[in-house]
Homo-oligomer: A and B are copies of this chain.
Amino acid sequence: MPARVAAMVQKVSEIVGTSTEGFARAAENAVKTAAKSVRNLRWFRVTELEGSIKDQKVLEYHATVKVYFDLES
């Protein structure tokens, strides 16, 4: 299992991911997007779970996550 922290200092970014399947996929999509712009991602924590509704049905699940990534020294 990976370490939560591998550098002296980490930065935290808050991102909202979306998925039609469920909350874990929505969180995964948030992480995927974060991975495009920052390196050394280590951990995420869910801060909110929401969903949009259309025609009286759940359209998409949203997961707001805080992602933690190591700052390179």
Binding site for B on A (CB under 8 A): 1-18, 21-25, 27-33, 35, 39, 41-46, 48-54, 56-62, 64-68, 71
Contact = CB atoms under 8 A, between A and B. Distances in A.
Contact of A9 (B24, B25, B33): B33
A23 B62 CA distance: 13
A5 B64 CA distance: 12
Classify the secondary structure of A's interface with B: strand
* Identical chains bound together, number: 12
B35 A57 contact: yes
Contacts of A50: 43-46
A15 B21 contact: no
B9 A18 contact: yes
